[in-house]
Amino acid sequence: MPEYNGQEIWEKLYAAEEKQQAQGETERCWTEGEDGEMEFDRRVLASAEGRDVIDIGCGTGEFTLEIAAIARRVAGIDFSKRALQKAHENSRSKKLTNTEFRLARAAQLPFPNQSFDLAISRRGPAFDTSESVREVYRVLRGGGQVIVQGIGEKDKQNWVQVFGRGQVYPAIGEFREEWRDMLTMTGFKDISVEEFEANEYFATINDVLMRLEDSPIVPNFDRELDKDHVQEIVKQFTTPKGIMTNSQRVLVRATK
């Protein structure tokens, strides 16, 4: 689903996350193996020092502000007013002066040509459409890089099979060749696509419910209507380490 069709979904997910935080709930989960999340962070932080960076789909801005601590300048964009309000609050608490957050869409970035050295997107809309890919290319300077982390098509596969539906957005792994072709046609070079897989464990059924409520894993998830599905997940996938699912991420890197 392209970004422009998903605003209502994300506002609902951010609202669920805010409610969890207000109630003092903390999701207890852990990953066994490298699922690409930490590798994405390492690569971005290694590439961002002293550079101008744009975070496309920045959400509430926690990682954007991590980048800002070492970058020359960081701009975060998102289409969620709720997420950006939290991002501004987070930014004020950090007292950083090299960061800005703007309400915008990936297909129409509000910046001049060649404004950035690095573009990043963690499960964001940078590669949603050919328009968004062209916008990334436009705002990058020559030699600039884009690093994107997307969901693999096997992610949460055992849960999705129980629900009979899953993943609001198309998995990047399903369209890896189409994305590679789109990047090449736009003008990107040195394109690399890597996949990471790991197991993820949740301490209790409530931790599973929290993840299902604040993530786009299962469309239109409802605690009451889907309680039988959740019970089936607990029944089938409880292990000595916790309630198990799989995590798959795809990292894409390219140079202008």
In 135-188 the beta strands, taken as DSSP E runs, fall at 140-151
Q: Where are the domains of the chain?
A: 3-20+34-156+169-199+248-255
The one-letter code for the residue type at 231 is Q
Q: Cβ neighbours of residue 101 under 8 Å, at least 6 residues apart?
A: 58, 61, 64, 75, 76, 77, 78, 84, 87, 88, 91
Give tens-digit pLDDT for 196-255.
Answer: 999 999 999 999 999 998 888 888 888 999 999 999 999 999 999 999 999 999 999 999
The architecture of the domain spanning 3-20+34-156+169-199+248-255 is 3-Layer(aba) Sandwich (3.40)
Give tens-digit pLDDT for 86-117.
Answer: 999 999 988 889 999 999 999 999 999 999 99
Give tens-digit pLDDT for 150-197.
Answer: 888 888 999 989 998 776 555 565 567 777 888 999 999 999 999 999
pTM: 0.89
Cα–Cα distance between 152 and 171 in angstroms, integer?
5
